[in-house]
Amino acid sequence: MPHIEINLWAGFDAKKKEILISRVTDTIVEVVDCPKEAVHIIIREVRKENWAHGGVQHSIQLKDR
């Protein structure tokens, strides 16, 4: 049973997450050759102030651009 975890910034709308889940599922089914029902996906939404790159929070990086 494939188990996929996806970390995203918080705020993507439900339709975009639905499309992401569908496409990731289809890819896993094709590559791993398993039934769709075997694919489990968890999307974790992280606020931008809790996600950093290069020592700087993304909430700060975006404000300064």
Beta bridge partners of 30: none
Q: Tell me which residue of 61, 59, 62, 63 sits closest to 46, measured CA to CA.
A: 59
Query: Which residue out of 2, 9, 20, 61 is catalytically annotated?
Result: 2
Helix/strand/coil for 41: strand
Give the H/E segment covering residue 13. none
**2 is known as an active-site residue:** yes
The residues carrying an active-site annotation are 2
